[in-house]
Amino acid sequence: MIKNCKHCENEFDLHSRRKKLVGGYINECPDCVEENGGDQSPPKYLGVTAGNGKMSDVTILKFEDQASRNTFQKAWRNNAGQNLGKECQIGKHTSMTSGLKFKIVSENRGNDNHKGKL
């Protein structure tokens, strides 16, 4: 997809290898992104919770791109059984999250102790 850069107004290919490598906003050419000191676009964060034990785990993940974030969020909601009620916490199938690039930014592990179990 050919876009016009908002800084230099040159055309560039949004899906080129170089643009993917350099990053930056959708309307910035790779040259201008590098000139302006690298990728200034906001990180793709996603916070997820797990309902295990007496306290829920909270994990904050950072993704390399919006598509990976959306895929992970969809898979998480399915696998965690969100909006399916309490009788079963697993969705109809288990969605794969392999191959997605993300880093764990923060993790707060809950106490797994459940109903007196040590």
Residue 32, interface with Zn ion (CB under 5 A)? Answer: yes
The values of phi and psi at residue 57, to 5°, are -70, 140
Residue 95 one-letter amino acid: S
Residue 33, interface with Zn ion (CB under 5 A)? Answer: no
Q: How far is the CB of 48 from Zn ion (least distance, A)?
A: 36
Q: Which is nearer to Zn ion, 17 or 117 (CB)?
A: 17
Q: How far apart are CA 115 and CA 75, in angstroms?
A: 29
Closest to 66 in 3D by CA, of 44, 46, 95: 44
What mask of x and - would describe binding to Zn ion in positions 10 to 29, judged by CB under 5 A? Answer: -------------------x
Q: How far is the CB of 31 from Zn ion (least distance, A)?
A: 5
CB atoms within 10 A of CB 85: 7
Q: Which is nearer to Zn ion, 35 or 112 (CB)?
A: 35
